[in-house]
């Protein structure tokens, strides 16, 4: 290690920047975040810094470099494109024992600035000691994706409880064990899910209760998206990797399931049309039972749990039984599938509204407000509409939609097996039958479908017609 990583308190202290270009602006942004008083000196100033100067957030002096500008500085940065100026700044700062950084010139620096991942008050600094700043930034972006945005809130709440923990546990060893348990337990999940009051109450309870801690389970109701695993949210992935048991549906793709923690128990409760492995009420009870037995239960659903996903019913049962839970939205089929089919659901020329509707037949019948579905300037997206497709098309035409209205059916959208049949409303059912399309299929009806001809961008590996 050639340099010691330290965090320097520059709050309300003077930091001087020589140079006022874009690189200087990036450094200034960091200094301002840390609460510094910033003074910038240069003959010309870039727009970003000029805006900050106008807003009174920095002091700007339009002048060439002079040594006097460094007076009273606790830190100096040289960011000009003139090597002789940068060298002069470096030498003068070193002579005055002021820490100095010269952009892109490690030999002239007494300190370098790290790439940071900020989850304030937690800050992670990454340095390549000036050798490979791009590598440091690359590592930073990797760490950004791994650390939930709420880590700062965990640190802040831990800070609030520091004194209470200290008065309950006399030794640092006991305090360490306490915090390690907390950090690996459900309280952290409460904080990350935005349930901070519940987290504080649980911490208070833990500190006032002298009985052995009970193992608490919970349910994560997670939307697994339409199929492509890259469409999972960060939070979904994190919870998938820490569950004890995964209760999943038919629609969850194999690639998504692959990302669930290897040694988690897997329970399939998939539903296919008219044939449910477990009735919904049994699934609701199963989730509650597993969580009450202390398990972290991942309830993994295709798409979004609250869009034709019966997620609401599941959490109603959990609420009734006092089981903690959190809901993680997923990309619903309408969003994901239409994007991958090159069909924007709204467009200023063609559709100002979009209707999501289920085509699930009730007692073999479709029970729609056909007039509402037939309105112009809107896109209709039908989930579970494959079986009733011929009926839907006929009824729409009977209610005034043109038989020439563009329409498409997308099978297994967003996956490498995606297939698309696009046709006029009048021919759609016939063409879909001829192509032998199988569930899951999403139907999109509206003028926007014609845009697919121009905007189709996704190329699944499995090539089909359409
Ligand atoms: C029971 S609903 C569940 C919807 C899910 N909760 C969502 O938000 O996407 C199942 C229907 O969603 C649609 N669907 C889900 N994933 C799909 C995909 N990858 N491609 C096409 N349709 C899909 C189909 O219409 C399927 O019959």
Q: What is the pLDDT of residues 169-201, one digit of tens each?
A: 998 888 888 888 888 788 888 898 899 999 999
What is the position in ligand 1's atom list of the atom closest to the CA of 227? 19
What does the pLDDT read at residue 420?
97
Per-residue pLDDT at 364 exceeds 50: yes
What is the position in ligand 1's atom list of the atom closest to the CA of 385? 25
- Region 235-249: mean pLDDT is 94
> Which residues have C-beta atoms less than 6 Å from ligand 1?
226-227, 251, 301-304, 307-309, 332-333, 337, 383-384, 410, 412-414, 439-442
- Region 438-461: mean pLDDT is 96
Helix (H, G, I), strand (E, B) or coil at 388: coil
Per-residue pLDDT at 85 exceeds 50: yes
- Region 429-440: mean pLDDT is 97
pLDDT band per the 50, 70, 90 thresholds, residue 210? low
What does the pLDDT read at residue 191?
92
What does the pLDDT read at residue 149?
84
Nearest-5° angle of CA 47, CA 49, CA 51? 70
Q: What per-residue string of b and e applies to 385-397 under the rule 16 or more CB within 10 Å gives b?
A: bbbbbebbbebbb
pLDDT band per the 50, 70, 90 thresholds, residue 461? confident
Alpha helix segments (H runs only) across 241-279: 254-257
- Which residue did the predictor score with more confidence, 382 or 209? 382
Cα–ligand 1 centroid distance for 360 (angstroms): 12
What does the pLDDT read at residue 3?
87
Least trusted range by pLDDT, from 32-41, 287-296, 456-465 = 456-465
Cα–ligand 1 centroid distance for 261 (angstroms): 24
Tell me the pLDDT of the chain averaged across its residues.
Answer: 92
Task: Report the first-to-last Cα separation within the chain, whole angstroms.
Answer: 59
Cα–ligand 1 centroid distance for 382 (angstroms): 9
State the sign of the Cα–Cα–Cα–Cα dihedral 107, 108, 114, 115. negative
User: Helix 151-168 to helix 196-208 angle, to the nearest 10 degrees?
Assistant: 20
Helix (H, G, I), strand (E, B) or coil at 291: helix
Specify the residue with its C-alpha closest to ligand 1, atom 12.
383
What is the position in ligand 1's atom list of the atom closest to the CA of 301? 6
pLDDT in tens, 304-354: 999 999 999 999 999 999 999 999 999 999 999 999 999 999 999 999 999
Listed residue (422, 226, 428, 193) closest to 337, CA to CA: 226
Cα–ligand 1 centroid distance for 301 (angstroms): 10
Per-residue pLDDT at 108 exceeds 70: yes
Quick one: 459 exposed, middle or buried, by C-beta within 10 A (0-12, 13-18, 19+)? Answer: exposed
What does the pLDDT read at residue 271?
66
What is the position in ligand 1's atom list of the atom closest to the CA of 253? 19
Rounded to whole angstroms, the Cα distance separating 123 from 6 reads 12
In DSSP terms, 78 is beta-bridged to: 18, 102
Q: Is 204 a catalytic residue?
A: no
Tokens, residue 101 = 């950084």
What does the pLDDT read at residue 183?
86
What does the pLDDT read at residue 273?
56
- Which residue did the predictor score with more confidence, 463 or 138? 138
pLDDT band per the 50, 70, 90 thresholds, residue 465? very low
Rounded to whole angstroms, the Cα distance separating 232 from 302 reads 11
Helix (H, G, I), strand (E, B) or coil at 335: helix
- Region 74-89: mean pLDDT is 97
Q: Is 271 a catalytic residue?
A: yes
Rounded to whole angstroms, the Cα distance separating 39 from 358 reads 61
Longest dimension (CA), the chain: 88
In DSSP terms, 450 is beta-bridged to: none
- Region 59-67: mean pLDDT is 97
- Region 96-118: mean pLDDT is 93
Rounded to whole angstroms, the Cα distance separating 456 from 233 reads 24
Least trusted range by pLDDT, from 57-66, 359-368, 413-422 = 359-368
Per-residue pLDDT at 276 exceeds 80: no
């Amino acid at each position: 290690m050639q340099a010691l990583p330290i965090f320097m308190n520059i709050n309300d202290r003077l930091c001087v920047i020589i140079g006022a270009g874009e690189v200087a602006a990036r450094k200034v942004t960091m200094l301002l975040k840390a609460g510094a008083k910033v003074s910038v000196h240069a003959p010309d100033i870039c727009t970003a810094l000029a805006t900050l100067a106008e807003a009174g957030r920095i002091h700007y002096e339009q002048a060439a470099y002079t040594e006097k500008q460094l007076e009273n500085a606790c830190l100096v940065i040289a960011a000009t494109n003139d090597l002789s100026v940068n060298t002069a700044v470096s030498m003068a700062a070193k002579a005055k024992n002021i820490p100095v950084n010269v952009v892109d010139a490690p030999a002239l620096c007494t300190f370098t600035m790290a790439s940071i991942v900020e989850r304030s008050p937690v800050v992670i600094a990454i340095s390549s000691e000036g050798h490979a700043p791009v590598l440091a930034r690359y590592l930073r972006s990797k760490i950004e994706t791994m650390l939930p945005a709420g880590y700062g809130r965990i640190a802040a709440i831990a800070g609030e409880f520091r004194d209470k923990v200290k008065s309950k546990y006399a030794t640092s060893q006991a305090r360490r064990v306490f915090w390690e348990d907390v950090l690996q337990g459900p309280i952290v999940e409460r904080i990350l899910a935005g349930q901070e009051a519940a987290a504080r109450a649980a911490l208070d309870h833990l500190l006032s209760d002298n009985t052995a801690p009970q193992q608490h389970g919970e349910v994560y109701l997670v939307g697994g998206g339409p199929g492509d695993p890259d469409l999972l949210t960060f939070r979904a992935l994190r919870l998938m990797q820490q569950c004890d048991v995964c209760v999943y549906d038919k629609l969850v793709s194999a690639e998504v399931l692959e990302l669930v923690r290897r040694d988690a128990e897997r329970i399939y409760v998939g539903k296919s049309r008219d044939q449910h492995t477990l009735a919904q009420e049994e699934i609701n009870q199963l989730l509650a039972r597993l969580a009450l037995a202390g398990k972290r239960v991942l309830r993994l659903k295709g798409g979004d749990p609250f869009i034709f996903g019966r997620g609401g019913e599941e959490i109603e049962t959990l609420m009734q039984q006092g089981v903690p839970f959190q809901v993680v939205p997923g990309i619903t089929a309408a969003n994901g599938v239409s994007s991958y089919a090159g069909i924007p659901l709204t467009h200023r020329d063609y559709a100002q509204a979009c209707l999501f509707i289920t085509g699930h037949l009730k007692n073999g019948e479709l029970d729609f407000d056909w007039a509402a579905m037939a309105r112009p300037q809107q896109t209709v997206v039908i989930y579970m509409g494959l079986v009733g497709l011929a009926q839907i098309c006929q009824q729409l035409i009977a209610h005034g939609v043109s038989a020439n209205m563009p329409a498409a059916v997308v099978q297994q959208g967003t996956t490498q097996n995606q297939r698309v049949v696009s046709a006029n409303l009048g021919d759609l059912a016939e063409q879909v039958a001829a192509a032998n399309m199988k569930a899951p299929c999403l139907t999109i009806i509206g003028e926007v479908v014609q845009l697919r001809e121009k905007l189709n961008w996704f190329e699944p590996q499995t090539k089909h017609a359409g």
